[in-house]
Amino acid sequence: MLTLDFHPTGRHFLQIPGPSPVPDRVLRAMSYPTIDHRGPEFAALGLKVLADVKKIFKTTQPVIIYPASGTGAWEAALVNTLSAGDHVLMYETGHFAWLWQKLATRLGLKAEVMSYPGSEVWRHGVQAHLIEERLKADTAHAIRAVCVVHNETSTGVTSNIAAVRRAIDAAKHPALLLVDTISGLASADYCHDAWGVDVSISGSQKGLMLPPGISFNAVSAKAVEASKKATLPKSFWAWDEIIEMNKTGYWPSTPNTNLLYALSEACDMLLEHGLDAVFARHHRWAEGVRCAVKVWGLHIQCADPTVYSPVLTGVMMPEGVDADAVRKIIYERFDCSLGTGLGKVKGTMFRIGHLGDCNDLTLMAALAGCEMGLKLAGVKLAGSGVQAAMDYFSSHAATVLSLKAA
């Protein structure tokens, strides 16, 4: 029999950048009874969550909710807007951007990949001017879509999406702008409408503080128009029937009812708190964690302080230290999960998540686990990062500590 007694006492510290720790309030909401997805009660839930998620994406346009992980919503964005052989311009900021490119290629799209010129691979955000130059050179307008990742979860680097929009406009290019904000949404500011994004892709288990299992496409009118002509095969992922039925709060197939309860609860929490206060909270946690990393004398994976991620911090290991060996010690000795290095950076770095249901003291505990584990692994630390983070948190009061009065 499977026994779930691996973590015998206290709480496990889930400090990976998704799935993130789920608030108890959300877990309790998930335990409501599963109801008839064609019944009257369901429509109220459906309409509520569809209205709430629009506020989170900062859009007045349709948001499609899929019972799938983020990868499904990646696929949905492409199959709804593109046709076989279409040329797409993708920017490789890290492992997730690379995986999206792989998915596009497997769908039969012609993916052209741009990346940071120079040796600091996977340490910078999207360079919008390079996209502008590339689009200007595409005088025939062969490129149908520009695909970028808002918060690259493999590295802890964000990208300036408004700048990418400006680059496309400056090149007077008709390409669609498709943005993966699977881990950025609800931790870093995101403006689907104001930034002129055509399809925004997100998922449940990162900033939205839900378990894995639902994902999103926020769409623009231009994307909906493109979906009418796009010929990549689509049925389950097709937006048209879903958008139509969503008008009355229902879905063509069975939605993920209990995760929608969770979504409703999480949106209440985020919106009651206020999105700006939520973003400030993650920014502050990220600052505290980065203070620790700097005082340890270690490098942060993101080489450009202007695009540090509020969601996670990538911690680079000194030459010769295996990041996964350090993670293993921290997991086995202190019951704390940290994110592994993915793809090209496997073994050279690990990731500390500061998203989901955290607070100053859960992050302090995670940093203490890191500091002890690094020392046990024989890493020479320049100073106490734990002390540095305590100093930061105690000298920078959180701007909003309590919920707004009802």
Ligand X SMILES: *Cc1c(COP(=O)(O)O)cnc(C)c1O
**Choice between 168 and 188, CB closer to ligand X:** 188
Distances (CA, A) of 333 to 179, 239, 282, 346, 377: 39, 47, 27, 22, 12
Residue type, 31: S
- Sheet holding 199-203: strands in order across? 63-66, 215-219, 199-203, 176-180, 143-149, 87-92, 110-115
From the list 63-71, 110-118, 301-309, 354-362, the region that binds ligand X by CB under 6 A is: 63-71
Q: How far is the CB of 371 from ligand X (least distance, A)?
A: 26
Please report where in the chains the tokens 């985020």 appear, as a residue: 270
Least distance in angstroms from the C-beta of 244 to ligand X: 26
Contact yes or no for 184/158 (Cβ under 8 A): yes
Sequence-distant (≥ 6) Cβ neighbours of residue 379 within 8 angstroms: 298, 317, 318, 321, 326
Residue from 71, 105, 258, 337 binding ligand X (CB under 6 A): 71
User: ω into residue 19 within 30 of 0, thus cis?
Assistant: yes
Complex with ligand X: residue 89 or 148, whichever CB lies closer: 148
Nearer to ligand X, 115 or 183 (CB): 183
Does position 183 interact with ligand X (CB under 6 A)? The reply is yes
Percent of residues in the chain assigned helix, strand, coil, to nearest 5: 40, 15, 40
Relative to beta strand 110-115, strand 87-92 is: parallel
Q: How far is the CB of 149 from ligand X (least distance, A)?
A: 5
| Listed ranges 178-186, 223-231, 300-308, 323-331: which one lies at the site for ligand X (CB under 6 A) | 178-186
Is 104 one of the binding residues for ligand X (CB under 6 A)? no
CA–CA dist 313, 227 (Å, integer): 37
User: How big is the site for ligand X, counted in residues (CB under 6 A)?
Assistant: 13
Give, as ranges, the residues between 13 and 32 that touch ligand X (CB under 6 A): 18
149 touches ligand X (CB under 6 A): yes
- Shortest approach of ligand X to residue 118 CB, angstroms? 23
Q: What is the CA radius of gyration of the chain?
A: 21
Q: Which stretch binds ligand X (CB under 6 A): 69-77, 103-111, 130-138, 271-279?
A: 69-77
CB of 21 to ligand X, least distance (A): 15
Interface with ligand X (CB under 6 A), residue from 66, 96, 296, 308: 96
Smaller CB separation from ligand X, 86 or 180? 180
Q: Which is nearer to ligand X, 20 or 385 (CB)?
A: 20
Position with the least CB separation from ligand X: 70
Binding residues for ligand X restricted to 201-230, rule: CB under 6 A: 203, 206, 212
User: Residue 48 carries which DSSP code?
Assistant: H
Within 10 Å of residue 376's Cβ, how many Cβ atoms?
13
* Contact status, residue 77 vs residue 90, Cβ threshold 8 Å: no
105 scored as a contact of ligand X (CB under 6 A)? no
Of 102, 91, 86, which Cα lies nearest the Cα of 128?
91
> Pattern of binders to ligand X over 350-389, x per CB under 6 A?
----------------------------------------
| Residue carrying the six token digits 């993920």 | 256
Q: Is 301 in the site for ligand X (CB under 6 A)?
A: no
- Residues that bind ligand X in the complex, under the rule CB under 6 A: 18, 69-71, 96, 149, 153, 180, 182-183, 203, 206, 212
